[in-house]
Amino acid sequence: MSIISIKSATKRFPNGFEAIKGISTEIATGSFTVILGPSGAGKSTLLRLMNGLETTTSGSVHVTGETLSKSNLRKTRSRVGMVFQQFNLVERLSVVTNVLTGRLAHRSWLGSLFYLFRNEDIEIAQEALARVGLTDKAWSRADKLSGGQQQRVGIARALAQRPKVILADEPVASLDPVSSEEIMMLLREICDRDGITVVVNLHQVDLAKRFADRIIGMNSGRVVFDGTPAELSPLTLQTIYKRDEIENDTNLDLALSYA
């Protein structure tokens, strides 16, 4: 069973840059997928296509059986949580309010007029915060937290909406190694325990190998590798991180020798 399926999707930005050059793939329900690739390969764009933050130029994206379109955008997003590299928390709001914004998809605009939430929503938010170990920070302002803590709030926000899928766009790129480890473990645990499908963009090959069920390698808008971590050989890494314009890329060899 696949929860997300992408059919010959392309994405061309208004400035003419083609970020996705025809990708077809399926994400299995309950799986943990990591997308690897150099900067500018189109990883973020691919992920953003999956919850409608970007729309395809051609081809289609299907989430939980429905074709993504303008009319079901809100409904789709209520099922697909998103975790960002820069956390994208509303910095001036308290931690718990940020988590509560994950509940907005299920509520009408009337309560929002006075910033009111239902008791059950507050309970769900508190639960989500307990899950990421931040109960004691619930009433702090979001921008007073450290990077690792802010990212955990980001995950709690995604959890609070009770999603089927969590998309994480380079969730550890702005974090130190220990926080990175914690965030990846948290995402893996959410996948295993709650059966939530997780798709993560990563820069770190070692993290990808350790946490993923499946790795998708991307280079300049195309999928160049698709397999298990065990199948990810030094040679395939060469194809993923290959730079078109450079013939004998000694920097590439050097970088991969540590991976």
Partner 1 sequence: MTPTLIWRCPTRNGLPPLPAVASVVTVLVAMWSTASLVEVDFARLIGSLGKMVSFAGNMFVMPEWKYLPHLLGKMLETIEMTFLATAIALVVSLPLGLLAARNATPHLIVYRLVRDLLSLMRALPELVWALVFVSAVGLGPLPGVMALAFVTVGFMGKFFAETIEVIDQKQVEGVSAHGAGWFQVRMFGMLPQALPDFVGTVMYILDHNLRAATVLGLVGAGGIGYDLVMSMRLFQYDRLLPIAVSIYLVVTLLDRLSDQLRRRIIHGAKAKI
Neighbour count for residue 143 (Cβ, 10 Å): 12
Measure the CA angle with vertex 143, ends 53 and 159; round to 5°: 50
Of 31-39, 56-64, 110-118, 207-215, which segment contacts partner 1 by CB under 8 A? 110-118
Beta bridge partners of 223: 218
Check binding of 78 to partner 1 (CB under 8 A).
Answer: yes
CB 68 within 8 A of CB 184: no
Residue with smaller CB distance to partner 1, 140 or 220:
140
Check binding of 258 to partner 1 (CB under 8 A).
Answer: no
Backbone angles phi, psi at 126, to 5 degrees: -60, -40
Check binding of 224 to partner 1 (CB under 8 A).
Answer: no
Q: How far is the CB of 189 from partner 1 (least distance, A)?
A: 21
Of 16-24, 28-36, 72-80, 212-220, which segment contacts partner 1 by CB under 8 A? 72-80
Contact code string over 158-197 relative to partner 1, x by CB under 8 A: x--x------------------------------------
For residue 187, give every residue at least 6 positions away whose Cβ sits within 8 Å of its Cβ, in sequence order, or none.
Answer: 32, 83, 155, 166, 168, 171, 198, 200, 211
Check binding of 118 to partner 1 (CB under 8 A).
Answer: no
Closest to 242 (Cα-Cα) out of 25, 41, 47 = 41
Check binding of 64 to partner 1 (CB under 8 A).
Answer: no
CA distances from 208 to 147, 166, 203, 229 (A): 21, 16, 8, 7
E strand spans, 64-190: 66-67, 80-83, 165-169
Check binding of 212 to partner 1 (CB under 8 A).
Answer: no
CA distances from 204 to 14, 56, 113, 118, 229 (A): 30, 27, 42, 40, 13
Check binding of 97 to partner 1 (CB under 8 A).
Answer: yes
Distance of CA 198 to the CA centre of its chain: 7
Residue with smaller CB distance to partner 1, 156 or 240:
156
Check binding of 92 to partner 1 (CB under 8 A).
Answer: yes
Of 63-71, 96-104, 207-215, 243-251, which segment contacts partner 1 by CB under 8 A? 96-104
Among 6, 23, 36, 104, binds partner 1 (CB under 8 A): 104
The binding site for partner 1 (CB under 8 A) comprises: 51, 53, 74-78, 81-82, 84, 86-94, 96-97, 101-102, 104-109, 112-113, 115, 139-141, 144, 154, 157-158, 161
